[in-house]
Amino acid sequence: MLNTLKFNARIWFFLGFLACAGLLGMGAYFQMVEGLQPCPLCISQRLAILLTGIVFLIAALHNPGPVGIKRYALLGTLSALLGASISTRHVWLQHLPPDKVPECGPELAYMFQYFPLFDTLKLMLTGTGDCAKVDWTLLGFSMPVWTLLAFLILATLSFLQRWNTDK
């Protein structure tokens, strides 16, 4: 099966970059057009998508040899799995019973202005009660579930590039 899908690794990394750009574009659409305000975990997931996209773009522009492809594949996989872990936390928060949901926190701009950086980053990665609210679904699944699926696909795409070398 891999031989059927064996394009140049540069093309696959560029396709991964385009997928990340599309995901960021969708996030911007939902925020700017649909009026959905992102919670701290949503913003963390966007940063992970951005990081993964940057890794893919650099790999595509660099067009490395076999050793470089394996290194970029590892970096892309790790950044996508980091995003998947954030998405998993978000899905978990959304499925907590109402009495177990953490309290809602202040807005992110307020936290960056008045909280120490470490505390702000901790809240961004652990989430608040804002993160438990489901504002949008498609086929019965919330946005964090779809984002988790996207991260797993990106991680798989990146991981498979380890074998997409000439040698």
- Among 52-61, 95-104, 154-163, top mean pLDDT goes to 52-61
Q: What is the average pLDDT value for the chain, to the nearest integer?
A: 83
In a domain, 67, yes or no: yes
pLDDT at position 10 is: 84
Number of domains in the chain: 1
Q: From the DSSP assignment, how many helices (H) and strands (E) are in the chain?
A: 6, 2
pLDDT for residue 81: 96
Range of the domain at 71: 9-163
pLDDT at 122 > cutoff 90? no
Give whole-number Cα distances, 40 to 68, 130, 134, 146, 153, in Å.
Answer: 34, 8, 14, 17, 23
CATH assignment of the domain containing 86: 1.20.1550.10
| Single-letter amino acid code for the residue at 159 | F
How many Cβ atoms from other residues are within 10 Å of residue 40's Cβ?
Answer: 24
Phi, psi (degrees; rounded to nearest 5) at 122 = -60, -45
Higher-pLDDT residue of 41 and 164 is 41
Q: Look at residue 8 and tell me whether its pLDDT is greater than 60.
A: yes
Rounded Cα distance, 56 and 39, in Å: 26
pLDDT band per the 50, 70, 90 thresholds, residue 37: confident
CA angle 28, 30, 31 (to 5 degrees): 65
Identify whether 139 is part of a domain.
yes
Q: Which two tokens stand for residue 143?
A: 């946005």
Residue 133, domain member (yes or no):
yes
**pLDDT at site 1:** 47
163 compared with 46, residue with greater pLDDT? 46
CA 149 to each of CA 31, 33, 70, 81, 102: distance values in angstroms, whole numbers, following the listed order: 20, 23, 23, 11, 25
Q: What is the pLDDT of residue 52?
A: 96
Confidence band, pLDDT 50/70/90 cuts, at residue 141: confident
d(CA 51, CA 55): 6
Q: Is the pLDDT of residue 124 over 80?
A: no
pLDDT at 90: 84
Pick the range with the lowest mean pLDDT from 54-58, 135-139, 145-149: 135-139
Q: Does residue 1 form part of some domain? A: no
